Amino acid sequence: MEGHELTLAVNHLSPFLLTRLLLPALRRSGAGRVVHTGSSSSDRAGIDPDDLELTRRWRMTRAYARSKLALLMTAIETADQEQRRGVTVNVAHPGLVATNLVRSGGIDQFVWSRLLSRVALTAQRGADTALFAALSPDCAGVTGRYLKRCAPAAPNRRALDTMLRARVLAATERLVGPD
């Protein structure tokens, strides 16, 4: 997603575009499942559909949380649109997972590598909720859910606002461009 704020492009625009491109094949399957990787950082995030790229007051933590909230909101919108076509769309929060995500050096990397990684899940355990959503018979036909620890969780209240979701979806489509 050249030309867009990197955090938004990686966490939201790219998964959105990939999903949009795969939807015809998923519809033909009659039981396609889309599972996006969410984050609990979205739980308290705010969002401005007129500034998804966070051109004002950019901070890494804000950009990350906002990108994950945008992903959650468009996933719920897509789930609503695709439900009759046999495609399910859910968002799975993996939990705190020990990865090499933080490589920036400085205090962030110190906190991550020395402190948080000691209590973090392994990558294998971090995949549990996404695999549950993708493969479990318990999730057949379940759509528009935000999952944590293999169970439905309450999303950010903004994700439940249908008008705001529609605005975020429209803004996302403008950024991604036509099919």
* CA distance readout (Å), 33 to 64, 86, 113: 25, 9, 34
How far is 88 from 25, CA to CA, in rounded Å? 13
Find the helix or strand (DSSP H, E) in which 166 lies. helix 162-176
Annotated catalytic residue 64: yes
Q: Are strands 151-152 and 146-148 parallel, antiparallel or unpaired?
A: antiparallel
Q: What single DSSP character describes residue 162?
A: H
Count of CB atoms within 10 A of residue 138's CB?
A: 11
Q: Are 66 and 8 in contact (CB under 8 A)?
A: yes
Which residues are within 8 A (CB) of 157 and not within 5 positions of it... i.e. 6 or more apart? none
In the set 17, 35, 52, 64, the catalytic residue is: 64
Which residues are within 8 A (CB) of 158 and not within 5 positions of it... i.e. 6 or more apart? 45, 46, 47, 69, 73, 164
**Which residues are designated catalytic?**
64
